[in-house]
Amino acid sequence: MALRNSHYDRVGGQKIPGVKVVSVGNLVVGGTGKTPFSAWVAKELKVRDLSPAIVSRGYGRDELILHNKWNPDTPVVADSDRLKAASLAGLEGADIVVLDDGFQHRRIARDFDIVLLSAEDGFPGYLLPTGPYREPVQSLRRADAVLVTRRTAPCLVAEKILAQVRGIAPEALTAAIHLSPFAWQDLRGFPATPPDGNILAVAAVARPIEFSQSIANMVTGTVELMSFPDHHDYRSDDIKKICLAARERTIAVTEKDAVKLAQYDDILGEVRVLVERVRWESGRQEIERALDKLVGATA
């Protein structure tokens, strides 16, 4: 990674003619909120009368479905070759692309580079394979903005990390967001009442414990977690195990899991989907001003 970064520090990434690039990425493996925040960025660009496209590596079809759900009028282009995908998006009419998980993908030059850090992670932390970090925290110096996200961690933890970030990358914009519980839905996406009684939390996400803790903070009953690997595709055997484990309890899942479990709606019975939203705690105006500057740049 060090040699690769040294190379791109010297030569830079490849520009895509007629297309601006906003990258949303992180330093760790999964779970910082890149996908919902990428969707927020795409929505904000659309509001500014731009024609965004979201570019993803396409590793998890659940994330692609979520992007289509959250921004149905924004094209999503998935390809392991993201330079190819971004170029294709430009040919199809996009004047700006949002790279979902793009910080380490330095083949593509970017006009605004955003890095997310999770307040639930230790900061600074160990590099892979000892810890979750893909590259050293000093890499934040190449970011234009660093956002600290949190789900269950206290605000003070996020503020402490932001102070450390400002010492490492003083030129970067900084902000904090809470990926907070917003509403409950059923598996078909319709509004639903909050779950009552005891809960079986089912999750195939990078941070399943945070999901179950979020639910535990909202309900009076007990919460048991049944977790699967991130991006897991549920099979009929999994559904049988979930039903057996749930018994009389309400099943609660993430939006990411709901898009894969919807086909089993009739079998699973009462399921509640926890919908999160991006709630800003600091720095929103600075980030929005940076996005405003991209409007003139694409004209």
Sequence-distant (6+) residues with CB within 8 A of 29 are 128, 132, 134, 206
Q: pLDDT tens-digit profile of 106-147?
A: 889 999 999 999 999 888 888 888 888 889 999 999 999 999
The lowest-confidence range among 58-67, 83-92, 175-184, 241-250 is 58-67
Task: Quote the mean pLDDT of the chain.
Answer: 91
Asked if residue 30 has pLDDT above 90, the reply is no
What CA–CA distances, in Å, run from 150 to 22, 125, 250?
Answer: 22, 17, 26
- Indicate if 181-276 has the same CATH topology as 2-180+279-298: yes
Parse the chain into domains and list their residue ranges.
2-180+279-298, 181-276
Q: What is the pLDDT of residue 16?
A: 79
Q: What secondary structure does DSSP assign to 250-289, as a single string?
A: EEEEEHHHHHHHGGGHHHH-SEEEEEEEEEEEE-HHHHHH
What's the rounded mean pLDDT across residues 238-254? 95
Q: What is the pLDDT of residue 299?
A: 46
Q: pLDDT tens-digit profile of 47-71?
A: 999 999 999 887 667 888 999 999 9
Q: Which range scores top for mean pLDDT: 13-27, 113-127, 161-175?
A: 161-175
CATH annotation of 181-276 = 3.40.50
Q: What is the pLDDT of residue 1?
A: 57
**Per-residue burial over 18-34, b = 16 or more CB atoms within 10 Å of its CB, e = otherwise:** ebbbbbbbbbbeebbbb
CATH 1.10.10.10 for the 2-180+279-298 domain, yes or no: no
Give the number of C-alpha atoms closer than 13 A to the C-alpha of residue 79, restricted to the C-beta side. Answer: 10
Integer Cα distance of 39 and 130 in angstroms: 31
Contact indicator for 81, 105 with CB cutoff of 8 Å:
no
Q: What is the pLDDT of residue 280?
A: 98
The answer, yes or no, to whether the previous bond of 181 is cis (omega within 30 of 0) is no
Q: What is the pLDDT of residue 287?
A: 98
Q: What is the pLDDT of residue 6?
A: 53
The residues facing 250 across adjacent strands are: 199
What tokens does 70 get? 């959250």
Contact indicator for 94, 22 with CB cutoff of 8 Å:
no
What's the rounded mean pLDDT across residues 79-85? 89
Q: pLDDT tens-digit profile of 197-245?
A: 999 999 999 899 999 999 999 999 999 999 999 989 999 999 999 999 9
Sequence-distant (6+) residues with CB within 8 A of 282 are 162, 174, 175, 176
Contact indicator for 55, 21 with CB cutoff of 8 Å:
no
Asked if residue 7 has pLDDT above 80, the reply is no
